[in-house]
Amino acid sequence: MITNKKNTLFRKLNILTVIIAIILLYLIDSDIVGNQYIKRILNLCAIYTIVSVSMNLVNGFTGLFSLGQAGFMAIGAYTVAIFTVPVELRESIFYVVPQNPVLSQIQIPFFPALLIGGLLAALVAILIGMPVLRLKSDYLAIATLGFSEIIRIIFTNIKTITNGALGINRIPAIPSLELDNFNISFGPMWSIFGIAALSVLLISLLVNSSYGRAFKAIREDDIAAQAMGISPFKHKVMSFAIGAFFAGIGGGLLASLLGTVDPKQFYFTMTYNFLLIIVLGGMGSISGTVIASFIVTAGLELLRFFDEPLTLFGVNIPIFRAGLRMVIYSILLMVLVLFFRNGLLGQKELSWNAIIGWFKNKMPSHKKSEGGAL
Amino acid sequence: MKRKISLFLCFMMVFTMFTACSNEQGTSTSEAGSDEDVIKIGVFEPLTGENGGGGLQELDGIEYANKMYPEVLGKKIQLVVVDNKSDKGEGTTSVSRLIEKDKVAAIIGSYGSGVSIAAGDIIKNAKIPAMGASCTNPMVTQGNEYYFRACFIDPFQGKVMANYALEKGAKTAAVIMQNGDDYSIGLGNFFIKSFKELTGDENSIIDVSEFQVNDTDFNSILTNIKAKNPDVIFAPSSLTTAPLIISQARDLGIKSLIMGGDTWENPSVIDVAGSDAEGIFISTFFDESNPATEEARSFIEGYREELGGKEPNIPAVAALGYDAYLLIRDAIERAGSTNGDAIKDALNSTKDFEGVTGIINFTEEGDADKNIAVIKTVENGKFKYIDTVEIK
């Protein structure tokens, strides 16, 4: 009886949270609250969420230490870049080596291009995954890292398709969705957040399905999993391909948001950003990854005041200068990792139960520590 | 204990968030009051990340300019510097920050064309004029009426070197470029294009080769070139590879002229290549020993003192940063206001502005319409000014 009541309460809370989120999204998107700066940060946060959650599916849930995310993002980003740039601009963009005559006549709308980008990334992941996923732990990491570098180098060299080192510019922004009947238009933010929410939802459904349980079984012990009748190879390739699909989608959104791509952007160091996010959020926790994506991306912006000169009592403090932000950021990361060994949420998920439980635990423990000798 | 610490960390996080917000409000209210006596100019440069070194040099030039000319329209100019980490995503957020939070009147930056291109759309939509100092990619200003730049663009530099090669009597050329480097590929290709046009011979470029980043052995490329025996070798490349290419070419007994871009103007090229560097040719933005304008004379003297021997040469990007600041300041002065469109129009009507790097006018695209480039060579272990080339 009590649990039933609790459940309905939680369901109401869930609906309330979603409604609040939608209202906030509407207010920010239609420029009633906040400004372009905040909008941009939030959009980046959402895109990083997509990629991080997809990486967590592979690294956290399936236990494959893969570092190929930047490569898959590059595939998605370049697909969107190549196909959405208006045909008439192509010549001025490919000013050194002209674009392939067949490709230069093809232009497809943003959403199909985004989908193709994701599918291409998944296809490449399957092809790469077949041989590479036979490796384990560190060896897999090295192989996938190498793969993402190969993608980058290929993109640098197929100049008639990708414009080589010069990159592709003038990528159109994410289109607004117009609903003429209701006279409402949904700006790019709706698309980005919509896709982010959808990917998080799909991945969490997947993780809680029988496939997800198989992934986790493989993570814990693949020989035991095999003994239970799970095909580790099939499931590993599947997880790898789905992870790549969402990374490709994230890359495509990023390309359109920034309006420009070039191969240097997809250095392997980019993957470390996402690795940082999933380790911080908790390997094997989707909600932790979402929270960490927002904290890491927005946090870097919040720390910007360390870069500004600071004058206290008329004295200019010399260490407050450009670059201090990155030092503070690194220190914060070290502190966080030291105190949260398993990331913010470990393998747990955020739920109302957990939040309430956390606070309930807090109260008595507080009293105890006050009374006890510490 | 652990919970206590985690609780404390959470509080800290929430607390910093609030302080950041209140800070924002604080500055915005005080801004309304102090708006009368301060004009803000935003600077976005890579101060960390792969281009951190170049970005800092450029920033030094801008800050020196701010020190020399701290006022406009009777108000103080305040520089708001943000770091873009040489990253496009950070580049766009840092520019939005300058526009939305700091409400700057104009923007200077950035070293590295990629970041500038990414930020271009935001600048265009916000109608805030921007001045690039050393971003040489043509795409930065193309189709963006609010983006200007103080430097010449890659096609021009390629043309200058092709012209000079021809003047030296070259009929055939070989080009060596760095694979994956937009600067090197851009410059190399424009050289090829101009050289073919000038000689009127499609086969005048007898060899084009690319090397990978971090390559140190160029013997295979150079042996190939030696067999074809070109009159000139054009090798726009980074500072670290330049001396290696030069020495290895001379070791192989290649007698062709060797030419490079503005990145080669650094004593370390001579230090590493030694006597092999004698007789190489480079093009650059300005010459310390032969100032083009009155402004240049005072800049060279003052900035040398400012550097205090920290660097042996004045970096060209510092001079360009200095020019970028002066151009913006001049435009605000002529516009008589800090309105974005007014400044943009003033920049467009800039006429024969005397900068450190020459007389500056703007083309329709907003590029500095510079018609001079400086050619230097190496003689007795030192860079020596040879000629100022003018291109029509």
Across the interface, whether the CB atoms of B179 and A157 are under 8 A apart is answered yes
pLDDT tops 90 at residue A115: yes
User: What region, left, alpha or beta, does residue B291 occupy, with left being phi > 0 and alpha being psi -120 to 50 degrees?
Assistant: beta
Task: Decide: pTM greater than 0.95.
Answer: no
A190-194, A302-306, B320-324, B342-346: range with lowest mean pLDDT: A302-306
Across the interface, whether the CB atoms of B92 and A40 are under 8 A apart is answered yes
Across the interface, whether the CB atoms of A362 and B93 are under 8 A apart is answered no
Residue A254 has a pLDDT of: 94
Closest by Cβ to B96, choosing from A40, A167, A265? A40
The mean pLDDT value for B77-83 works out to 89
Q: Is B285 exposed, middle or buried (0-12, 13-18, 19+ CB in 10 A)?
A: buried
Percentage of chain B modeled with pLDDT above 90: 24
Across the interface, whether the CB atoms of A361 and B82 are under 8 A apart is answered no
Q: What is the mean pLDDT of chain B?
A: 84
Return the amino acid letter for B218: F
From residue A152, give the alpha-carbon distance in Å to each of A267, B115, B214, B269, B270.
7, 19, 16, 30, 34
A359 or B128, which is more confident? Answer: B128
Closest by Cβ to A307, choosing from B20, B82, B185? B82
Closest by Cβ to A305, choosing from B5, B20, B181? B20
pLDDT tops 50 at residue B299: yes
Choose from B83, B123, B136 for mutation: most chain A CBs within 10 A.
B83
For the segment(s) B155-284+374-390, the CATH number from 3.40.50.620, 3.40.190.290, 3.40.50.2300, 1.10.10.60 is 3.40.50.2300
* Residues of chain A contacting B80 with CB distance shorter than 8 Å: 308
Cα–Cα distance between B241 and B244 in angstroms, integer?
5
Contacting residues for B357 by C-beta, under 8 A, at least 6 apart: B150, B151, B285, B286, B292, B296, B316, B319, B320, B323, B370
Residue B383 has a pLDDT of: 84
Please name which of A16, A27, A13, A14 lies closest in space to residue A190, comparing C-alpha atoms: A27
pLDDT tops 70 at residue B147: yes
Across the interface, whether the CB atoms of A165 and B23 are under 8 A apart is answered no
Does residue A14 sit at the B interface (CB-CB below 8 Å)?
A: no
Please count the other Cβ atoms lying within 10 Å of the Cβ belonging to residue A232: 19
pLDDT tops 60 at residue A298: yes
Residue B19 has a pLDDT of: 46
Please tell me what DSSP assigns to residue A59.
I
The mean pLDDT value for B47-60 works out to 84
A132-136, B157-161, B313-317, B355-359: range with lowest mean pLDDT: B313-317
Does residue A169 sit at the B interface (CB-CB below 8 Å)?
A: yes
Supply B18's token pair.
């609030």
Please count the other Cβ atoms lying within 10 Å of the Cβ belonging to residue B60: 21
Percentage of chain B modeled with pLDDT above 70: 90
The mean pLDDT value for A259-264 works out to 88
Supply B317's token pair.
């990007």
Please tell me what DSSP assigns to residue A239.
H
Residue B267 has a pLDDT of: 78
Give the residue on A whose Cα is nearest the Cα of B177: A165
pLDDT grade, residue A311 (50/70/90)? Answer: low
Q: What is the largest CA-CA distance in chain B?
A: 80
pLDDT tops 80 at residue A363: no
B2-152+291-361 fold: Rossmann fold (3.40.50)
Give the residue on B whose Cα is nearest the Cα of A296: B13
For the ranges A112-116, A337-341, B278-282, the one whose mean pLDDT is highest? A112-116
Choose from B22, B66, B93, B194 for mutation: most chain A CBs within 10 A.
B93
Sign of CA dihedral B359, B361, B367, B373: negative
pLDDT tops 90 at residue A114: yes
pLDDT tops 80 at residue B36: no
* Pairing relationship of beta strands B38-45 and B106-108 according to DSSP bridges: parallel
Please name which of A229, A231, A226, A233 lies closest in space to residue A136, comparing C-alpha atoms: A233
* Residues of chain A contacting B179 with CB distance shorter than 8 Å: 156-157, 165
Choose from B40, B96, B115, B193 for mutation: most chain A CBs within 10 A.
B96
Cα–Cα distance between B357 and B279 in angstroms, integer?
24
Does residue A361 sit at the B interface (CB-CB below 8 Å)?
A: yes
Supply A101's token pair.
């005559």
Cα–Cα distance between A295 and A318 in angstroms, integer?
28
* Residues of chain B contacting A258 with CB distance shorter than 8 Å: 88-89, 92, 118
Residue A24 has a pLDDT of: 87
Alpha-carbon distance B139 to nearest alpha carbon in chain A (angstroms): 8
Are the beta carbons of A173 and B121 closer than 8 angstroms? yes
pLDDT tops 60 at residue A370: no
Q: Which of residues 305-344 of A touch B (CB under 8 A)?
A: 305, 307-308, 322-323, 325-326, 335-336, 339-340
Q: Is B344 exposed, middle or buried (0-12, 13-18, 19+ CB in 10 A)?
A: buried
Cα–Cα distance between B79 and B106 in angstroms, integer?
10
Cα–Cα distance between B269 and B237 in angstroms, integer?
12
Are the beta carbons of A289 and A52 closer than 8 angstroms? yes
Cα–Cα distance between A257 and B89 in angstroms, integer?
9
Please tell me what DSSP assigns to residue A321.
S
The mean pLDDT value for A319-348 works out to 81
Cα–Cα distance between B378 and B278 in angstroms, integer?
5
Are the beta carbons of B84 and A307 closer than 8 angstroms? no
Give chain A's domains with CATH numbers.
10-267 (1.10.3470)
pLDDT digits (tens, 9 = 90+) for B81-122: 888 888 888 888 899 989 988 899 999 988 888 889 889 888
Across the interface, whether the CB atoms of A258 and B118 are under 8 A apart is answered yes
The mean pLDDT value for A135-141 works out to 86
* Residues of chain B contacting A37 with CB distance shorter than 8 Å: 93, 96-97, 99-101
Across the interface, whether the CB atoms of B6 and A361 are under 8 A apart is answered no
Closest by Cβ to B186, choosing from A166, A263, A365? A166
Residue B26 has a pLDDT of: 37
With tokens 């939608």, the residue in question is: A22
For the ranges A68-77, B129-138, B293-302, the one whose mean pLDDT is highest? A68-77
Cα–Cα distance between A240 and A245 in angstroms, integer?
9
Give start and end residues of each alpha helix (H) in A158-221: 159-162, 188-207, 210-220
pLDDT tops 60 at residue B54: yes
Cα–Cα distance between A322 and B90 in angstroms, integer?
14
**Domain segments of chain B as ranges:** 2-152+291-361, 155-284+374-390
pLDDT tops 60 at residue A232: yes
At B384, give phi and psi (nearest 5°): -130, 130
Across the interface, whether the CB atoms of B114 and A262 are under 8 A apart is answered yes
